[in-house]
Amino acid sequence: PTLYYAKYKDKQVTAYDSFVNLTYKQSSAEMEAKGFELSGAYSPIDEIELFAAASYNDMKFTKNMSTTGGATISVIGKQAPDAPKKMLKAGAAFKYREFYAMPSIKYMSERYGDAENTQRIAPYAVADMSIGYAKKNKSGTFKEITASLDLQNILSRKYISLIQASDDTTAGTSMQYVQGAPFAAIATLALKF
Protein backbone atom coordinates (compact mmCIF):
# COMPACT_ATOMS: atom_id res chain seq x y z
CA PRO A 1 0.00 0.00 0.00
CA THR A 2 1.08 3.58 -0.68
CA LEU A 3 -0.26 6.68 1.07
CA TYR A 4 0.74 10.07 -0.28
CA TYR A 5 0.37 13.77 0.22
CA ALA A 6 1.80 16.31 -2.23
CA LYS A 7 1.71 20.08 -2.25
CA TYR A 8 2.23 21.95 -5.53
CA LYS A 9 3.42 25.53 -5.38
CA ASP A 10 4.02 27.54 -8.52
CA LYS A 11 2.67 24.73 -10.76
CA GLN A 12 3.20 25.62 -14.39
CA VAL A 13 0.12 26.77 -16.33
CA THR A 14 -0.52 28.83 -19.44
CA ALA A 15 -1.46 32.39 -18.50
CA TYR A 16 -1.77 35.83 -20.07
CA ASP A 17 0.70 38.60 -19.20
CA SER A 18 -0.93 41.98 -19.90
CA PHE A 19 2.38 43.79 -19.45
CA VAL A 20 3.86 42.23 -22.60
CA ASN A 21 0.50 41.33 -24.22
CA LEU A 22 1.50 37.66 -24.64
CA THR A 23 0.27 34.29 -23.47
CA TYR A 24 3.01 32.01 -22.19
CA LYS A 25 3.67 29.35 -19.60
CA GLN A 26 4.22 30.64 -16.09
CA SER A 27 4.31 29.12 -12.64
CA SER A 28 1.28 30.35 -10.70
CA ALA A 29 -1.11 27.52 -9.70
CA GLU A 30 -1.25 26.01 -6.23
CA MET A 31 -2.68 22.54 -5.57
CA GLU A 32 -2.54 19.68 -3.12
CA ALA A 33 -3.05 15.97 -3.68
CA LYS A 34 -3.71 13.24 -1.17
CA GLY A 35 -4.64 9.65 -1.64
CA PHE A 36 -3.59 6.04 -1.68
CA GLU A 37 -2.72 3.17 -4.01
CA LEU A 38 -3.19 -0.48 -3.11
CA SER A 39 -2.63 -3.62 -5.14
CA GLY A 40 -2.50 -7.29 -4.40
CA ALA A 41 -2.78 -10.80 -5.75
CA TYR A 42 -4.00 -14.08 -4.28
CA SER A 43 -3.54 -17.57 -5.63
CA PRO A 44 -5.92 -20.12 -4.03
CA ILE A 45 -4.39 -22.87 -6.20
CA ASP A 46 -1.47 -22.98 -8.64
CA GLU A 47 -3.70 -22.64 -11.70
CA ILE A 48 -5.62 -19.54 -10.55
CA GLU A 49 -4.44 -16.08 -9.53
CA LEU A 50 -6.80 -13.27 -8.55
CA PHE A 51 -5.53 -9.68 -8.69
CA ALA A 52 -6.78 -6.19 -7.97
CA ALA A 53 -5.42 -2.65 -7.83
CA ALA A 54 -7.22 0.44 -6.54
CA SER A 55 -6.34 4.09 -6.15
CA TYR A 56 -7.91 7.23 -4.70
CA ASN A 57 -6.61 10.67 -5.71
CA ASP A 58 -8.04 13.86 -4.18
CA MET A 59 -6.14 16.52 -6.20
CA LYS A 60 -7.57 20.00 -5.62
CA PHE A 61 -6.67 23.64 -6.22
CA THR A 62 -5.81 25.58 -3.06
CA LYS A 63 -5.69 29.03 -4.69
CA ASN A 64 -7.67 30.79 -7.43
CA MET A 65 -5.94 31.36 -10.78
CA SER A 66 -6.02 33.85 -13.62
CA THR A 67 -7.18 32.99 -17.12
CA THR A 68 -5.15 33.67 -20.24
CA GLY A 69 -7.24 36.86 -20.55
CA GLY A 70 -6.45 38.03 -17.02
CA ALA A 71 -9.77 37.23 -15.30
CA THR A 72 -9.90 35.26 -12.04
CA ILE A 73 -10.91 31.59 -12.18
CA SER A 74 -12.65 30.47 -8.97
CA VAL A 75 -11.12 27.02 -8.52
CA ILE A 76 -10.39 26.67 -4.80
CA GLY A 77 -11.48 23.17 -3.72
CA LYS A 78 -12.12 21.96 -7.29
CA GLN A 79 -10.64 18.71 -8.62
CA ALA A 80 -7.78 19.12 -11.12
CA PRO A 81 -8.71 18.57 -14.80
CA ASP A 82 -8.42 14.97 -16.04
CA ALA A 83 -7.72 13.65 -12.51
CA PRO A 84 -10.17 10.88 -11.57
CA LYS A 85 -10.65 10.36 -7.85
CA LYS A 86 -11.07 6.59 -8.10
CA MET A 87 -9.58 3.91 -10.34
CA LEU A 88 -9.85 0.15 -10.08
CA LYS A 89 -8.55 -2.82 -12.03
CA ALA A 90 -9.44 -6.40 -11.12
CA GLY A 91 -9.22 -9.75 -12.79
CA ALA A 92 -8.04 -13.31 -12.71
CA ALA A 93 -5.46 -15.45 -14.48
CA PHE A 94 -6.31 -19.08 -15.21
CA LYS A 95 -3.67 -21.58 -16.37
CA TYR A 96 -4.06 -25.12 -17.64
CA ARG A 97 -0.90 -26.73 -18.97
CA GLU A 98 0.22 -24.48 -21.86
CA PHE A 99 -3.04 -22.52 -22.06
CA TYR A 100 -4.07 -19.40 -20.16
CA ALA A 101 -7.01 -17.00 -19.94
CA MET A 102 -7.06 -13.63 -18.19
CA PRO A 103 -10.33 -11.67 -17.92
CA SER A 104 -10.12 -8.20 -16.35
CA ILE A 105 -12.16 -5.08 -15.77
CA LYS A 106 -10.98 -1.46 -15.49
CA TYR A 107 -13.02 1.30 -13.87
CA MET A 108 -12.40 5.05 -13.81
CA SER A 109 -14.61 7.47 -11.86
CA GLU A 110 -15.85 10.80 -13.17
CA ARG A 111 -13.37 13.48 -14.25
CA TYR A 112 -13.60 17.07 -15.35
CA GLY A 113 -12.27 18.64 -18.52
CA ASP A 114 -11.90 22.12 -17.05
CA ALA A 115 -10.57 23.75 -13.90
CA GLU A 116 -14.00 25.01 -12.80
CA ASN A 117 -15.44 21.45 -12.91
CA THR A 118 -18.31 22.37 -15.26
CA GLN A 119 -17.34 19.88 -18.04
CA ARG A 120 -18.08 16.56 -16.31
CA ILE A 121 -16.84 13.37 -17.98
CA ALA A 122 -18.89 10.31 -17.02
CA PRO A 123 -17.28 7.35 -15.26
CA TYR A 124 -16.70 4.18 -17.28
CA ALA A 125 -15.81 0.51 -16.99
CA VAL A 126 -14.16 -1.59 -19.69
CA ALA A 127 -13.89 -5.40 -19.81
CA ASP A 128 -10.94 -7.11 -21.50
CA MET A 129 -9.92 -10.74 -22.07
CA SER A 130 -6.61 -12.27 -23.02
CA ILE A 131 -6.30 -15.93 -23.99
CA GLY A 132 -3.24 -17.72 -25.18
CA TYR A 133 -0.94 -20.67 -25.55
CA ALA A 134 2.77 -20.89 -24.65
CA LYS A 135 4.95 -23.96 -25.14
CA LYS A 136 8.64 -24.29 -24.41
CA ASN A 137 10.50 -26.61 -26.74
CA LYS A 138 13.84 -28.01 -25.57
CA SER A 139 14.67 -29.60 -28.90
CA GLY A 140 13.90 -28.39 -32.38
CA THR A 141 14.13 -25.10 -34.24
CA PHE A 142 12.24 -22.91 -31.76
CA LYS A 143 12.87 -22.52 -28.01
CA GLU A 144 9.35 -21.26 -27.38
CA ILE A 145 6.12 -20.81 -29.32
CA THR A 146 3.41 -18.44 -28.07
CA ALA A 147 0.07 -17.47 -29.53
CA SER A 148 -2.37 -15.03 -27.98
CA LEU A 149 -5.66 -13.30 -28.66
CA ASP A 150 -6.36 -10.04 -26.81
CA LEU A 151 -9.95 -8.83 -26.77
CA GLN A 152 -10.15 -5.20 -25.65
CA ASN A 153 -13.35 -3.36 -24.67
CA ILE A 154 -15.39 -6.52 -25.22
CA LEU A 155 -18.75 -4.76 -24.74
CA SER A 156 -17.67 -1.89 -27.04
CA ARG A 157 -18.44 0.77 -24.42
CA LYS A 158 -18.32 4.40 -25.53
CA TYR A 159 -16.18 6.53 -23.24
CA ILE A 160 -13.71 9.42 -23.12
CA SER A 161 -10.22 8.02 -22.66
CA LEU A 162 -8.12 11.19 -22.77
CA ILE A 163 -8.70 14.85 -22.03
CA GLN A 164 -6.22 17.31 -23.44
CA ALA A 165 -6.52 20.48 -21.37
CA SER A 166 -4.24 22.76 -19.38
CA ASP A 167 -4.71 23.26 -15.63
CA ASP A 168 -6.16 26.71 -16.31
CA THR A 169 -8.55 25.60 -19.07
CA THR A 170 -12.09 26.90 -18.62
CA ALA A 171 -15.33 25.93 -20.35
CA GLY A 172 -14.96 28.58 -23.07
CA THR A 173 -11.38 27.77 -24.04
CA SER A 174 -9.75 25.11 -26.18
CA MET A 175 -9.81 21.51 -24.96
CA GLN A 176 -9.97 18.17 -26.71
CA TYR A 177 -11.80 14.99 -25.71
CA VAL A 178 -10.48 11.76 -27.21
CA GLN A 179 -12.94 8.88 -27.57
CA GLY A 180 -11.82 5.52 -26.19
CA ALA A 181 -11.13 2.71 -28.63
CA PRO A 182 -14.12 0.49 -29.51
CA PHE A 183 -13.94 -3.32 -29.38
CA ALA A 184 -10.63 -4.58 -30.76
CA ALA A 185 -9.17 -8.05 -31.26
CA ILE A 186 -5.40 -8.45 -31.55
CA ALA A 187 -3.84 -11.80 -32.47
CA THR A 188 -0.14 -12.47 -31.91
CA LEU A 189 2.13 -15.37 -32.86
CA ALA A 190 5.69 -15.33 -31.50
CA LEU A 191 8.53 -17.77 -32.12
CA LYS A 192 11.71 -17.65 -30.00
CA PHE A 193 14.85 -19.15 -31.51
Q: Tens-digit pLDDT profile for the chain (193 aa)?
A: 899 999 998 776 655 555 566 655 666 778 999 999 999 999 999 999 999 999 999 999 998 877 656 667 788 999 988 889 999 999 999 999 999 999 999 999 999 888 788 889 999 999 999 999 998 877 677 788 899 999 999 999 999 988 876 555 555 556 788 899 999 999 999 988 8
Count the helix, strand and coil residues of the chain and give each as a percent rounded to the nearest 5.
Answer: 0, 65, 35
Predicted pLDDT at 174: 61
- pLDDT at res. 39: 97
Instruction: Supply the pLDDT for residue 164.
Output: 75
In this prediction, residue 92 carries a pLDDT of 97
Query: Given this model, what pLDDT does residue 170 score?
Result: 54
Q: What is the pLDDT of residue 64?
A: 85
Residue 18 pLDDT: 56
- Cα 22 to Cα 25: distance, rounded to the nearest angstrom: 10
Buried b or exposed e, range 54-83, using 16+ CB within 10 angstroms:
bbbbebbbeeebbbbeeeebebeebbbbbb
The predicted model scores a pTM of 0.78
In sequence order, the 6+-apart residues with CB closer than 8 A to the CB of 180 are: 124, 126, 153, 157, 158, 159, 160, 161
